[in-house]
Amino acid sequence: MHFSFFHLMPWTDLDEAPTEWPARNGAFRAEKGTELYKTYIDTMAHAEACGFDWVGANEHHFSPYSLMSNCNVIGGALTQRTQKIKIAMLGNLLPLLNPVRVAEEYAMLDVMSGGRLIAGFVRGIPHEYIAYNVSPDESRGRMREALNIILKAWTEPEPFGWEGEFYQYRAISIWPRPHQNPHPRMLMSASNKESAAFVGEFPAMVGLTLIGDLDVARGLIDTYRESSLAHGRNPGPDDILVGQGTCIAETDEEAQEEMAEALAYFHKVLMRPQQDAQRIVVQKTRFFGEGASGAGAGEYFVKRLETLKQRSIKEQIEAGTILCGSPESVVKQIKRLNQHLGAGHINMNMKLGTMPQASVMRSMKLFHERVLPEVRML
């Protein structure tokens, strides 16, 4: 199995939850921000010494939920702080961005790192579309067309033009081209069957986050595999990544107590403005289809978030949505994920909400010394 160390770069010093979206930024303090960026980048670079295969980052906007409005900036820093670990951008919110610019920046990261880029592409969550004034109803069409532009920009040695529904370019010829041939490994996220089938259309890994339970995740993976087979590809465990909030301590009780406190801040403070914005958007769009549209799709997505928030830590462990406990317990939880889902990659987020930095470093150490040796060969 392979393991990724993922970081959201949250703002950890809010005394109360923002009451509306977008969250007012008056509480931001530049000195504290500089300190957090240094700590977070140091921690991400340290993942290499702890045996992780990837170090991952992603993109969010207008919220203390994440200080990473452009994960490629963080990726550029990590190319100079690491030697062998894969740099996983998980990923750029493609329907909101200029696809040629994304192709160029990813090619730069791949060349700067000597061919270590994992190129992630995501549609994002609804409030991101409010931030950039893009209709969520266009997200799937924009995503498909942008991906085709990027693949051609990476692989076509001659200048080419593009006349599409959403994008028009007189001529494209990017410099540099990617280091990896024919292009960096791609990854896209899936949160419902429609998106899982979409990922299967492309030569990409599938990434699952916010899974409700193992059976739901299994269904999405099966849909992805069926779609991939229909498009001439036969994905295996190495093509499946599952995201897990993670806390490892000497005892189950210590880990569960720390996780409960950290997730309380995550859900009640950091996620508060996001949830309000999501309710507004998904009720008026087909963004999160699953055979439904409008209010039905919105109800499905919001209900999933509410279910995850309301579960106890033990219930989340049992449902397979987090990794939490002693090294021995986490080994058992990873083996269960591998057996039930056939996933070859686990993406671990150890900095959840207000999780103390000392606890993050302890989780990384215990993972390296007592978890990884037991699960590496699964």
At 107, which CATH number? 3.20.20.30
Range of the domain at 8: 2-375
Cβ-contact 43, 361 below 8 angstroms: yes
Give the model's pLDDT for residue 298: 45
How many Å separate Cα 364 from the centre of its chain? Answer: 19
pLDDT tens figures, 239-295: 999 999 999 999 999 999 999 999 999 988 998 776 666 665 655 555 444 433 333
Q: Structure tokens of 148?
A: 């085709």
Of 290, 302, 125, the closest CA to residue 198 belongs to: 290
Cβ-contact 56, 88 below 8 angstroms: yes
Please identify every stretch of the chain with a pLDDT value under 70, giving residue numbers as ranges. 210, 274-309
Query: What's the predicted TM-score (pTM) here?
Result: 0.92
Give the model's pLDDT for residue 290: 44
Provide the strand spans (E) within the chain. Answer: 2-6, 54-57, 86-93, 117-122, 160-163, 168-172, 185-189, 204-208, 240-248, 322-325, 345-349
- Tell me the pairing of strands 168-172 and 160-163: antiparallel
Q: Return the C-alpha torsion angle 352, 357, 358, 359, nearest 10.
A: 0
Give the integer Cα–Cα distance in Å for 297 and 282.
Answer: 7
Number of domains in the chain: 1
- Tell me the pairing of strands 86-93 and 322-325: unpaired
pLDDT tens figures, 159-202: 999 999 999 999 999 999 999 999 999 999 998 999 999 999 99
